Amino acid sequence: MLCCKYIRIMKLETIIGLEIHTQLKTKSKMFCSCARVAETAPANSSICPICMGHPGTLPVPNMEAVRLGMKAALAMKGNIYEQTKFDRKNYFYPDLPKGYQISQYDKPLSQGGELVVEVPDNSIASRKVIRVEFERLHLEEDAAKNTHGTSGESFVDFNRGGTPLAEIVTRPDMRSPEEARAFLQELRRILRELDISDADMEKGNLRCDANVSMRPIDENGVPISLTLHPKTEVKNINSFRSLERAIYFEIDRQSELWATNTPPAQSSTRGWNDEKGITELQRVKEGAADYRYFPEPDIPPLDLTSMLASVKRHVVELPAEKRARFMAEYFVSEADARIITDSKELSNYFEQVVSETNEWLDRPFDSRASKLVTGWMLSKLAGLMKVKGVDWATLKITAENFAEFVKIIDHEETTGANALKILEIMLENGEDPSQIMEERGLGRVSDEAMIQKLVEMVIESNPKQAAEFRAGKEPILKFLIGMVMKASEGKADPVITEKLMRATLGK
């Protein structure tokens, strides 16, 4: 029998599973009516006897949190337990005033499900499309936040304690840091698109632990044995970049252990240190921690039959489905569809613009209109917005005005240079484009007599270049037309200008 000990040069594959905690976008906390406040709120300003765990208080489940968790579970194609319940997970820590966390144990909100994710191909170790299965999704309350002072004292801010969380656990279905990142980004898109969570890793309302282990494979990439080896659970990951870096670090560390014939014998928990770029040992797991789970006696089991029917009725479109629809219906390229569907505000705005453009144009929305909309929206407008620090949610340009702007370009009522000026003014004050064009004289001049005057003027003041063009130096024409454009402040119709310039110079 083949044994790992006798393989000198061993090929390994990386096995990755993720555990994600995401704060649900509710007004109040999970089991009391305290407001869910931002991390920046004054410490202990949103607390009450229930979330402080005072004796004699009764928790009441926030049904909005249950509904949001259910939406996430449906998007993941999980099997929902219509009869669900809460359990107590017992452990002692200063950030947990009750001495237990109300969570869900054997009847979570949902089990199973899957997500199909496209992986941007930037690594040979990644597959193009991956299918990640889910273990479960359960609801629970967040713990409070500990901070440590400079002279050894510690503080607890209970504002976060009791915040509704959905914990999502995947199966170990990812094989590279790039795959893990692509999966988490797609999950974040879904959580945002469906208004389930703000899902901002930097703000801590999307937190991710990565379980990483390795196993030997043969020359064809087939695992020598399907057994999973003891894993490392990496905590404190607070950005997509750290997720990738932390897994890369673990691959190096664990490969080294395998290479020296000492693969990890026990599972362990390690913390990611972003500054040092390393994971540090926190504890070795001797066995599964004993949390002495038991059913929460203060909350009766929930019957979610009618809620499930109503949430299911509001069928929701997932980002991947929306991308495919934009490509098919609106002639958008795959790359642009990806950019547009990455932000809910932008995709809503884009769809409104498309529908308004339909009204403004005297023909159905076609690929030419699509190119104008995406080009001006994603590069020109987005570029100006970046400079001015405007985002899609606060943009002053209404969809109707942007559509009219697209019509002005489509009907060649202005030149490219002046269109950009109009757009800048629209961004500034939200005025409608035709008004800006008329008031500031930014339209296109196609009056031939007027352009002819400018052509003659330019020839007169640039006799050398005019002679060169006459002598056959074709490229100099661009310069001469440019001079006419300049003299007309960008308004002269370039096609008419070229025609008149050629006629006047006899070419």
Per CB under 5 A, residues contacting Zn ion are: 32, 34, 48, 50-51
CB of 183 to Mn ion, least distance (A): 19
Secondary structure tally for the chain: helices H, strands E: 16, 17
Query: Is the CB of 22 or the CB of 46 nearer to Mn ion?
Result: 22
Query: Is the CB of 161 or the CB of 177 nearer to Mn ion?
Result: 161
Instruction: Give the whole-angstrom CA distance, residue 27 versus residue 184.
Output: 25
Instruction: Give the whole-angstrom CA distance, residue 196 versus residue 173.
Output: 24
CB of 114 to Mn ion, least distance (A): 21
CB of 154 to Zn ion, least distance (A): 22
Residue 32 touches which of Zn ion, Mn ion, none (Cβ within 5-8 Å per kind): Zn ion
Q: Which stretch binds Mn ion (CB under 5 A): 167-175, 176-184, 203-211, 377-385?
A: 167-175
Instruction: Give the whole-angstrom CA distance, residue 87 versus residue 296.
Output: 5
CB of 48 to Zn ion, least distance (A): 3
CB of 338 to Zn ion, least distance (A): 41
Q: And the tokens for 4?
A: 């790992």
Instruction: Give the whole-angstrom CA distance, residue 104 versus residue 137.
Output: 9
Query: Is the CB of 38 or the CB of 284 nearer to Zn ion?
Result: 38
Residue 24 touches which of Zn ion, Mn ion, none (Cβ within 5-8 Å per kind): none
Asked if residues 62 and 26 have their Cβ atoms less than 8 Å apart, the reply is yes
87 forms part of the interface with Mn ion (CB under 5 A):
no
CB of 111 to Zn ion, least distance (A): 30
Q: CB within 8 A of 352, min separation 6: which ones? A: 399
Q: CB within 8 A of 357, min separation 6: which ones? A: 365, 369, 373, 403, 406, 407
Instruction: Give the whole-angstrom CA distance, residue 43 versus residue 420.
Output: 48
Sign of CA dihedral 439, 393, 237, 37: positive
Half-sphere exposure of 356 (CA within 13 A, CB side): 18
Residue 34 touches which of Mn ion, Zn ion, none (Cβ within 5-8 Å per kind): Zn ion
Query: Is the CB of 37 or the CB of 425 nearer to Zn ion?
Result: 37
CB of 285 to Mn ion, least distance (A): 16
Query: Is the CB of 48 or the CB of 390 nearer to Zn ion?
Result: 48
Instruction: Give the whole-angstrom CA distance, residue 130 versus residue 203.
Output: 28
Q: Which stretch binds Mn ion (CB under 5 A): 49-57, 162-170, 272-280, 282-290?
A: 162-170
Site size toward Mn ion (CB under 5 A) is 1
Residue 167 touches which of Zn ion, Mn ion, none (Cβ within 5-8 Å per kind): Mn ion
Query: Is the CB of 38 or the CB of 467 nearer to Zn ion?
Result: 38
Nearest 5°: phi and psi at 79? -90, 120
> For the chain, first and last CA: distance in Å?
86
Asked if residues 13 and 177 have their Cβ atoms less than 8 Å apart, the reply is no
Span 270-289, contacts to Mn ion by CB under 5 A: none
141 forms part of the interface with Mn ion (CB under 5 A):
no
Residue 169 touches which of Mn ion, Zn ion, none (Cβ within 5-8 Å per kind): none
Q: Which stretch binds Mn ion (CB under 5 A): 120-128, 159-167, 191-199, 201-209?
A: 159-167
Q: Kindly state the DSSP code that residue 492 receives in the 8-state scheme.
A: B
CB of 336 to Zn ion, least distance (A): 45
Asked if residues 468 and 476 have their Cβ atoms less than 8 Å apart, the reply is yes
Give, for 455, the enclosing helix (H) or strand (E).
helix 448-461
Residue 483 touches which of Zn ion, Mn ion, none (Cβ within 5-8 Å per kind): none
Taking alpha carbons only, the member of 146, 141, 140, 57 closest to residue 95 is 146
Instruction: Give the whole-angstrom CA distance, residue 506 versus residue 393.
Output: 55
CB of 66 to Mn ion, least distance (A): 16
Query: Is the CB of 29 or the CB of 189 nearer to Zn ion?
Result: 29
Residue 48 touches which of Zn ion, Mn ion, none (Cβ within 5-8 Å per kind): Zn ion
167 forms part of the interface with Mn ion (CB under 5 A):
yes
Query: Is the CB of 66 or the CB of 408 nearer to Mn ion?
Result: 66
Query: Is the CB of 201 or the CB of 340 nearer to Mn ion?
Result: 201
Nearest 5°: phi and psi at 259? -65, -30
Q: Which residues bind Mn ion (CB under 5 A)?
A: 167
